[in-house]
Structure 1
């Protein structure tokens, strides 16, 4: 009724007493098991603090992260993706990648595309301390284009 289900203990009881026709015989090895869906449904977090800095123009501050390795690759075999989020507009660019080493080439593609689109230059790139952002070529490129790094 409330988009929920009975506990594993109740399900075990229903099964043992044969109270539901067609209920398969299941084996519960652990008592007090909580299903994954229930854990997510009851999860919550505290609100984030107020932002100390907000960009006044597009591309002044960009957030980036690499996500993957995904369990199921896309139809074209892509197993990773990289996101770029503009602090000013919250606009998100997403690029798909076969391997993590493509991070640098996707950043170059993003920079050209975003700077043409917005007519602004990237000021800061904020990312976690992932190794994909720390390559020597990446560092030289950032210096050449006067893009500063910020680590989260």
Structure 2
């Protein structure tokens, strides 16, 4: 059994490959173009050609830019949310509530770990309650 760890270091067992590898220029240009396209926040081919002519891409030439799925998703338009269809004619017709917590540190005053809010949609009045336990939410709501 070989020891992988010597003192506090891991020893890598392997061999060195000697020789040369050639990549066709079209594959290399395509890879460099895609790499620069992603590095520059999905810049257009025209913009990258402009940077290449000015020598700002490390001497790399820009080839034809392949299809980029991320660019297509980024250009899609999102549909807006529709306006809420609830009408309030008076106080307590529509109440928004939110429970926050648990807090990692209890409050100094009463040891509360939760914060419960109620907002009246008609007057936009806000009630805030500090609770020790989550189970107290319903009791506080009924009050």
TM norm structure 2: 0.40
Which structure has the higher relative contact order (CA within 8 Å, separation 6+)?
1
TM score, norm. by length of structure 1? 0.38
